[in-house]
């Protein structure tokens, strides 16, 4: 098969897990995959202490760091609209979600942004990993949050609204990248205020 990143032909070694459908076939060669670095960063919530958002997020799990290989991947996937790249991290995502309990809720895109990009990149990552999810949130703001300071983002009006019933149980928020954490906290507090018992976060990347 051809690597979705570099295009070279590669063959993944057979394993018992693949034989019994416990493992998703890799879609990138080992040389390309070796360029991605696993995240070991501890998430610091100190900026949210003493704010309206304190305690809205119970835990954060991130898989990879935002190194040059990941920067290139994300650009090709999101901005060049190479949807097939959603398959690259399917097995890693499947494994991390296997160890978590809760209803998976992807961070949504604003409808205007979805029209521009043509696909919801967060949803596609979950779809390729075979992870069921529910769209419980709608994004109310279309402006780019990355252009604002963290203080401006924390003080902004709520970015999300709940569009379906939230039960008193745990929820797993999923996004492609965790940078300052403000987007995640905006989403988490909306779920908590609607009745969520707990909100844990999983992201593919720690920026």
The CATH number of whichever domain residue 92 belongs to comes to: 3.40.50
Judgement on whether residues 56 and 105 belong to the same structural domain of the protein: yes
Judgement on whether residues 138 and 107 belong to the same structural domain of the protein: yes
The structural domain count of the chain equals 2
pLDDT interval class at 32 (50, 70, 90): very high
- Residues 117 and 170: their CA atoms lie apart, in Å, by 30
Helix (H, G, I), strand (E, B) or coil at 25: coil
- Residue-wise pLDDT tens digits, 137-153: 999 876 555 555 666 66
- Which run of H or E residues covers position 65? strand 59-65
Judgement on whether residues 99 and 179 belong to the same structural domain of the protein: yes
Rounded alpha-carbon distances, angstroms, from residue 103 to 146, 166, 173: 27, 10, 8
Judgement on whether residues 163 and 85 belong to the same structural domain of the protein: yes
> Which range of residues forms the domain containing residue 24?
1-34
Judgement on whether residues 82 and 94 belong to the same structural domain of the protein: yes
Judgement on whether residues 21 and 47 belong to the same structural domain of the protein: no
Residue 2 in this model has a pLDDT that exceeds 80 = yes
pLDDT at residue 152, rounded to an integer: 65
Judgement on whether residues 8 and 83 belong to the same structural domain of the protein: no
Judgement on whether residues 122 and 70 belong to the same structural domain of the protein: yes
- Residue-wise pLDDT tens digits, 40-94: 988 999 989 999 999 999 999 999 999 999 999 999 999 999 999 999 999 999 9
Q: What is the mean pLDDT of residues 18-24?
A: 60
Judgement on whether residues 25 and 123 belong to the same structural domain of the protein: no
SS3 letters across 160-187: EEECCCCCCCEEEEEEEEECCCHHHHHH
């Amino acid at each position: 098969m051809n690597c979705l990143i570099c295009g070279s032909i590669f063959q993944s070694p057979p394993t018992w897990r693949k034989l019994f459908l416990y493992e998703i076939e890799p879609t990138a060669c080992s040389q390309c995959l070796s360029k991605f670095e696993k995240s070991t960063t501890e998430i610091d919530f100190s900026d949210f202490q003493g704010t309206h958002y304190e305690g809205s997020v119970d835990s954060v799990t991130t898989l990879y760091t935002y190194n040059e290989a990941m920067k290139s991947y994300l650009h090709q996937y999101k901005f060049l609209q190479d949807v097939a790249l959603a398959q690259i991290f399917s097995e890693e995502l499947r494994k991390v979600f296997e160890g978590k309990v809760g209803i998976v809720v992807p961070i949504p895109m604003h409808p205007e942004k979805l029209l521009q990009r043509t696909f919801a990149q967060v949803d596609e990552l979950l779809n390729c990993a075979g992870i069921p999810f529910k769209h419980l949130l709608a994004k109310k703001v279309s402006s780019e949050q990355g252009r604002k300071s963290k203080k401006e983002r924390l003080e902004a009006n709520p970015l999300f609204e709940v569009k379906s019933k939230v039960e008193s149980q745990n929820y797993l928020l999923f996004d492609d990248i965790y940078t300052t954490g403000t987007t995640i906290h905006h989403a988490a507090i909306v779920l908590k205020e609607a009745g969520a018992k707990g909100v844990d976060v999983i992201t593919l990347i720690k920026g």
